[in-house]
Homo-oligomer: A and B are copies of this chain.
Amino acid sequence: MARNSTDTKEKLLDAFDILLDKQGISGATLDAVAAKAGVSKGGLLYHYGSKAELIKGSLERLDRLVDEDVESMKAAGERLHLYYLETSAEIGTPLDRSLIAASCLAQENDEAKSALRRTREAWFNALNNHLGDADMAMTIQLIGDGMYFNQNFGLSQDEALAHVKNVLARLGL
Say what secondary structure dominates the interface of chain A.
helix
Residues A108 and B154 in contact in the complex (CB < 8 Å), given A163-B134, A163-B138: no
Asked whether, in the complex, the Cβ of A135 is within 8 Å of the Cβ of B26, the reply is: no
| Contact A136-B25, Cβ < 8 Å, known A120-B155, A141-B146, A142-B143 | no
- Which chain B positions have C-beta within 8 A of A141? 146
Q: Are A167 and B25 in contact (CB under 8 A)?
A: no
Q: Is the CB of A143 within 8 A of B153?
A: no
Q: Does A64 contact B (CB under 8 A)?
A: no
Assess A164 versus B150: contact at CB under 8 Å? Given A25-B107, A108-B24.
no
Q: Mark A114-150, 1 if CB is under 8 A from B, else 0.
A: 0011001000000000000011111101111111111
A154 touches B117 (CB 8 A): yes
How many angstroms between the C-alpha atoms of A67 and B162 in the bound complex? 28
Q: How far is the CB of A131 from chain B (nearest CB, A)?
A: 11
CA distance A147 to B148 in the complex (A): 12
Nearest Cβ on chain B to A90's Cβ, whole angstroms: 16
Report chain B residues within 8 Å CB of A134.
163
State in angstroms the CA–CA spacing of A135 and B164 once bound together. 6
Residues of A within 8 A of B (CB): 23-27, 104, 106-109, 113, 116-117, 120, 134-139, 141-150, 152-155, 159-160, 163-164, 166-167, 170-171
